[in-house]
Structure 1
């Protein structure tokens, strides 16, 4: 897609910090609102549930030394605000309250490692992806396999770990919906189509290996994933196979 993509910068149309710097772990910010749905902050590091990736957990530290645990992060479907979920009996914070957000980095980093590995899995298995999901423990992709195509667990595991060991650079690029529509082969997920009406769509590029639309967070290099295991391969229909991977550590 020469001439049709560019690297994301701090001036981009998606200012969320989990996109601009997925490695940032602490942020000073203020409360915008706090109601039954949760807390909206003026700025956040927390990734909201979406694209098969879980919402982040974190801690809000207050000036008086107390703290609130963020148990999940979601994006409001109407307002598109990022809502940080806390216990129902947590003290209500008034608008303007200064807080420090501390991301649960260990959990997020495992999400990033597994998510990037799933992109590699989609390169090793050359078939349409019908679904996927991940957690801090494992990840899976479902594939629509051509008739007669068989999957070998050991072969897939070897290929994945070879791509990881090669330490390919991972970066973010931006393209237009029109440009992506002209190259549908980049859209690997059969069940979900990116919003092609948008002027800008986010792509994840694994240098020399892969380029595909994705709204999740990823590591900087494949070597950061570490060794992985193919836990199992399951049949989910006549043509549909589920491949489950996990981090070895």
Structure 2
């Protein structure tokens, strides 16, 4: 099992860890600040350093059981098990994923009642697919998104039991991907105050602390991907 540190602190840029195993498929450590690819969010990249060496981490992915694999270039020199090492995130990329993922939750809040049929978080652009006959216009969505960003809503998480989720099935917006089960607990990401959230839904991804940190967002494209499948793409506007 790999202890996942990003759930408690998604801003942890580096951490020390001990090598559990190091093979061609990837390196497993006893703990990590790297997000493993899941739910449409890419796995983190960065660098693993130890006394006498370092290796690039091409992506973190899920391994067997609760292990996280840190993939390395083919033929790279790997540290032996038991080695103490330091994991350093490629922070700018991770932070863009955090901003994008939070913006996607805001987009969900602006299209209530429509199931999400797919999605992909990206550093440069992201998308959500909705089971929706007629979406709002690009201009109106862009304006509404940036109003929510400017409102500086807090973003936090909480945990509920699987039984509580079963009693509130409307919390799940995604039709293609269901929250992971088995541990008995489901993580919810909340945007806004507890008594009147802007958005509240199960999510295992990484997020920023407030909507203002997202920065300006633009709806860049809207596409028909089926009779009632509408793809909405967004991008961060820098500068």
Q: Same fold (TM over 0.5)?
A: yes
The residue correspondences of 1:89-238 to structure 2 (distance < 5 A) are: 89-126=75-112, 127-145=114-132, 147=133, 149-195=134-180, 198-207=183-192, 208-238=197-227
Cα deviation, residue 92, structure 1: 2.6
Q: Secondary structure at the match of 2:11?
A: coil
Residues in 1 aligned to 2:225 and 2:198: alpha-carbon distance in whole angstroms: 28
Residues in 1 aligned to 2:181 and 2:55: alpha-carbon distance in whole angstroms: 39
Cα deviation, residue 197, structure 1: 5.5
Say whether residues 1:244 and 2:230 are aligned partners.
Answer: no
Unaligned runs of 5+ in 2: none
Residues in 1 aligned to 2:25 and 2:3: alpha-carbon distance in whole angstroms: 23
Q: Secondary structure at the match of 1:48?
A: coil
Residues in 1 aligned to 2:182 and 2:70: alpha-carbon distance in whole angstroms: 29
Cα deviation, residue 190, structure 1: 1.2
Q: Structure 1-normalised TM-score?
A: 0.90
Residues in 2 aligned to 1:237 and 1:79: alpha-carbon distance in whole angstroms: 36
Among 18, 23, 46, which residue is 1:58 paired with?
Answer: 46
Say whether residues 1:84 and 2:70 are aligned partners.
Answer: yes
**Residues 176 and 198, structure 1, Cα contact 8 Å, conserved in 2:** no
Q: Secondary structure at the match of 2:6?
A: helix
> Could you say which residue in structure 2 is the equivalent of 1:22?
10
> Could you say which residue in structure 2 is the equivalent of 1:11?
none
Q: Secondary structure at the match of 1:245?
A: strand
Residues in 2 aligned to 1:198 and 1:55: alpha-carbon distance in whole angstroms: 22
Residues in 2 aligned to 1:45 and 1:193: alpha-carbon distance in whole angstroms: 24
Cα deviation, residue 195, structure 1: 3.8
Unaligned runs of 5+ in 1: 1-13
> Could you say which residue in structure 1 is the equivalent of 2:19?
31
Residues in 2 aligned to 1:139 and 1:50: alpha-carbon distance in whole angstroms: 15
**Residues 55 and 78, structure 2, Cα contact 8 Å, conserved in 1:** no
Cα deviation, residue 235, structure 1: 0.3
What count of residue pairs does the alignment treat as equivalent? Answer: 232
Residues in 2 aligned to 1:34 and 1:136: alpha-carbon distance in whole angstroms: 28
Residues in 1 aligned to 2:4 and 2:230: alpha-carbon distance in whole angstroms: 35
**Residues 181 and 196, structure 1, Cα contact 8 Å, conserved in 2:** no
Q: Structure 2-normalised TM-score?
A: 0.93
Residues in 2 aligned to 1:122 and 1:205: alpha-carbon distance in whole angstroms: 12
